[in-house]
Amino acid sequence: MRETSPLLAVDTAYKRFSVAVWDGGDVFEIREREDFRHVERLNLTVKRVLEKVGVRIDDLKGILLTVGPGYFTSLRVAASFVKALHLVLKVPVYGFNTLQAMAVGLEDGRYAVTLDARKGQVYARAFRVDGGIPVEDDALPLSIYDPETLPPPGYRLIDNPDDRLRASNLFPLYFAGLGLALDPRFSPLYVRPPDAVVNRRTER
């Protein structure tokens, strides 16, 4: 049985991050208004959101986060932050697909959800939404696509993370039994390899 209260949710997968707390059915969320402020503002924002709902950090029963796809550095910020919290609090951590989080709360139907992958491409995945909960649809496996080829016939396109992506969307997924319990040594779901590669030379 999954813990119910209080829970912390963190999303840093895209340009603007958000943090939310679930406490006894009440949700409070703060969404950053500026792009790429993850590093300098995430810690303070978590502190603010906990203070707003009167929850101490050591009261948390679980931590939820988007693990990808998304921007490489942005994903690493949340991963590092959550790993540090886990070491201190010893609470379970659950990871969620960024695209699935974007589809939470949509009308019932079939959707192709996309997120900028740079280089003129997008990350994309198909979902079937039932009762506001998106379930993966094999018509469009998670991968990198040319946006001109999307959506497939019979699917509606969802392509604006600024409107759809928020940490509070992780709570319905969590209580629907979705998301993976993560090993503390987890790595984000990058999909695309990082552009910067370390050149290791063998000493002779």
Domain of 172, CATH number, reads 3.30.420.40
In the chain, the number of structural domains is 1
**143 domain residue, yes or no:** no
**Residue 45 lies in domain:** 7-103+161-181
Neighbours of 87 (CB within 10 A): 9
**18 domain residue, yes or no:** yes
Q: Which of 189, 159, 199 is nearest to 72 (CA)?
A: 189
**67 domain residue, yes or no:** yes
Question: What does pTM read for this prediction?
Answer: 0.92
Peptide bond into 184 cis (omega under 30): no
For residues 13 and 74, the answer to whether their CB atoms sit within 8 Å is yes
Low-confidence spans in the chain with pLDDT less than 50? 202-204
pLDDT tens, residue by residue, 110-143: 999 999 999 999 999 999 999 999 999 999 999 9
Q: How does the average pLDDT of the chain come out, rounded?
A: 92
For residues 142 and 134, the answer to whether their CB atoms sit within 8 Å is no
**187 domain residue, yes or no:** no
